């Protein structure tokens, strides 16, 4: 019993595009433009720079996934390089990041679906939560059917939203080529606009990088990637380059149709754009936004379950999380992340702390880069099928420090305290985990009952496959 290597280059790109291309490019490009002081060249430059920085960061993570080609590679690498305590701390942060992220996505989708039926009235909270729970559990059931079923779903979702983005991009290019005065006017005197100051540029980068997040999915499902030494770096470069170009063209198209002031005043720029070009086709944009949210939510559940799966194999979560069902899926891990997200949806006030947890996730990125440098020094002869250049590692550390300390300048001190309390509470939980492990033998019966209830079987640890694959990176293992 082991997770299969069934995700090749094409499916890897599908998972990346589905995770990265989310609601950001549809509903909130106004953030970059707003903090760029409505300066069009600065705004477009930030979008391009964010794409470049995302590629650099992703390639640094690619070394983790190719050196340790197993599921939850980012967690496993921290445990190998910086020890069990730091690995557990990253697990603690991701536990909340995933739950809050999934809950936010499905609540947004539920609100988006119900809103047309409310005729200008506020969306009923109970209806929104019930629909969100139904969507969440449907995605959980889909994930429990195995990675191939998820791949088919993500392929359809990705094709829908990429088709819509390409339509928006091509329409903007055509409008600029035709050269109508109102379409090109926003670009003629763009260099005369106000230049934003340092804090504004920092905030614009934070807004832009959010739209590029999600590239770590391939690293955390590296145990299911065919020939990970070749496919992971290629997929990351291909997908992120494509996303960068599309994001730039879409923003140019927005600016060709809407004024900067109209963009920053809208909560759904794509819907306003379509209303100006083809009012009768607004439902197409709605379909694109819905497919983006569904695709994102499904991929986050997949990624979270793989990290829980590896943490269970490493003894930092109960053994039941690493057991597989007949579809070779860690069904208990999927169920756990769905249950945690359900609690967040029911108590939706918890979503208010997502800003604290989101910043905390960049602590993990910084720690991973430090661990990468440490392992380079301590174990220089470790087989590395893909080895990223040192300037990229230091650049990613600089990005992490930038995203961690910029909010400290921007926000009040009480929020800093909440962030540190959240992070260090993970250390307390680690101590409790160590104490709990000493008496875990008393819970073996519970594990057996759950195993029978969910019809799951223990999986094999893939460490042997890792050592073998280092010697023959082109061989595919089942």
What the block records as the tokens of 211 is: 């739209």
Torsion of CA 388, 10, 7, 309, to 10 degrees: 60
* CA terminus-to-terminus distance, the chain: 10
**Residue written as tokens 């993570």?**
61
How far apart are the C-alpha atoms of 393 and 62, rounded to whole Å? 11
Q: What is the pLDDT along the chain (478 residues), one digit of tens a residue?
A: 788 888 999 999 999 999 888 777 877 688 888 888 878 888 889 999 989 988 998 988 898 889 888 888 888 988 888 888 888 888 888 888 888 888 888 888 887 788 767 766 777 788 888 998 999 999 999 999 989 999 999 999 999 989 988 988 998 888 888 766 666 666 666 666 677 776 778 778 878 887 888 888 899 888 899 999 899 999 999 999 999 999 999 998 888 888 888 888 877 788 788 888 887 777 777 777 888 888 888 999 999 999 999 988 888 888 888 888 888 888 899 998 999 899 888 876 554 555 555 566 778 888 889 989 998 888 888 888 888 888 888 988 888 887 777 766 665 556 566 666 777 777 777 777 666 665 566 677 778 888 888 888 887 765 544 433 443 443 332 2
**Residue written as tokens 């963009």?**
263
How far apart are the C-alpha atoms of 425 and 357, rounded to whole Å? 12
**Number of Cα atoms under 13 Å in the Cβ half of residue 280:** 0
pLDDT at 152: 93
The conformation of residue 101, written as its DSSP 8-state character, comes to: H
Per-residue b or e along 190-212, where b marks 16 or more CB atoms closer than 10 Å to that residue's CB: beebeebeeebbbbbbbbbbbbb
9-439 CATH fold: Amino acid/polyamine transporter I (1.20.1740)
What the block records as the tokens of 294 is: 């569904």
Where in the chain are the domains? Answer: 9-439
CA angle 7, 322, 8 (to 5 degrees): 5
pLDDT at 475: 35
The conformation of residue 119, written as its DSSP 8-state character, comes to: T
Which residues lie across from 221 on neighbouring strands?
Answer: 71
How far apart are the C-alpha atoms of 307 and 217, rounded to whole Å? 10
CB atoms closer than 10 angstroms to residue 439? 8
Q: How distant, in Å, are the alpha carbons of 150, 203, 307, 323 from that of 312? A: 22, 38, 9, 9
What the block records as the tokens of 376 is: 């380079």
pLDDT at 100: 83
Task: Choose among 143, 5, 151: nearest CA to 71.
Answer: 5
How far apart are the C-alpha atoms of 250 and 254, rounded to whole Å? 6
Residue 104 host element (H or E)? helix 84-114
Which residues lie across from 432 on neighbouring strands?
Answer: none
The conformation of residue 458, written as its DSSP 8-state character, comes to: E
How far apart are the C-alpha atoms of 328 and 6, rounded to whole Å? 12
User: DSSP letter string over 354-383?
Assistant: HHHHHHHHHHHHHHHHHHHHHHHHH-TTS-
**Number of Cα atoms under 13 Å in the Cβ half of residue 30:** 18
């Amino acid at each position: 019993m082991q997770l299969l290597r069934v995700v090749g280059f094409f499916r890897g790109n599908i998972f990346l595009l589905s995770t990265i291309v989310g609601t950001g490019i549809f509903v909130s490009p106004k953030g970059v433009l707003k903090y760029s002081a409505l300066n069009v060249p600065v705004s477009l430059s930030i979008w391009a720079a964010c794409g470049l920085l995302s590629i650099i960061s992703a390639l640094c993570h690619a070394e983790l996934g190719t050196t340790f080609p197993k599921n939850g590679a980012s967690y496993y690498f921290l445990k190998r390089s910086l020890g069990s305590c730091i690995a557990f701390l990253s697990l603690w942060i991701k536990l909340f990041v995933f739950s809050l992220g999934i809950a936010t996505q499905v609540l947004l989708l539920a609100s988006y679906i119900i809103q047309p039926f409310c005729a200008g009235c506020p969306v009923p909270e109970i209806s929104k939560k019930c629909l969100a729970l139904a969507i969440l559990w449907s995605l959980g059931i889909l994930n429990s059917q195995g990675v191939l079923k998820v791949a088919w779903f993500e392929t359809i979702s990705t094709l829908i939203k990429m088709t819509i983005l390409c339509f928006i991009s091509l329409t903007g290019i055509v409008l600029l080529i035709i050269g109508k005065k109102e379409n090109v006017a926003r670009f003629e005197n763009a260099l005369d606009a106000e230049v934003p100051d340092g804090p504004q540029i920092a905030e614009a980068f934070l807004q832009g990088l959010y739209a590029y997040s999600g590239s770590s999915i391939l690293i955390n499902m590296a145990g299911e990637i065919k020939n990970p030494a070749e496919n992971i770096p290629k997929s990351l470069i291909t997908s992120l380059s494509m996303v960068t170009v599309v994001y730039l063209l879409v923003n140019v198209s927005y600016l060709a149709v809407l004024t900067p002031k109209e963009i920053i005043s809208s909560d759904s720029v794509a819907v306003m754009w379509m209303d100006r070009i083809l009012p009768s086709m607004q439902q197409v944009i709605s379909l694109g936004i819905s497919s983006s949210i569904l695709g994102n939510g499904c991929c986050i559940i997949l990624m979270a379950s793989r990290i829980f799966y590896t943490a269970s194999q490493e003894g930092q979560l109960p053994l039941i999380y690493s057991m597989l069902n007949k579809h070779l899926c860690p069904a208990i891990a999927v169920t756990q992340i769905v249950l945690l997200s359900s609690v967040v949806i029911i108590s939706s006030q918890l979503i208010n702390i997502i800003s604290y947890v989101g910043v905390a996730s960049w602590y993990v990125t910084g720690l991973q880069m430090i661990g990468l440098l440490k392992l380079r020094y301590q174990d220089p002869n470790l087989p590395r099928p893909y080895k990223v250049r040192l300037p990229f590692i230091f650049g990613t550390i600089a990005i992490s420090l930038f995203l961690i300390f910029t909010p400290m300048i921007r926000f009040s001190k009480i929020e800093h305290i909440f962030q540190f309390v959240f992070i260090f509470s993970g250390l307390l939980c680690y101590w409790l985990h160590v104490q709990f492990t000493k008496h875990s033998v008393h819970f073996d019966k519970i594990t057996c009952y759950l195993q029978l209830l969910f019809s799951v079987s223990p999986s094999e640890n893939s460490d042997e496959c890792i050592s073998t694959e280092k010697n023959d990176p082109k061989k595919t293992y089942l």
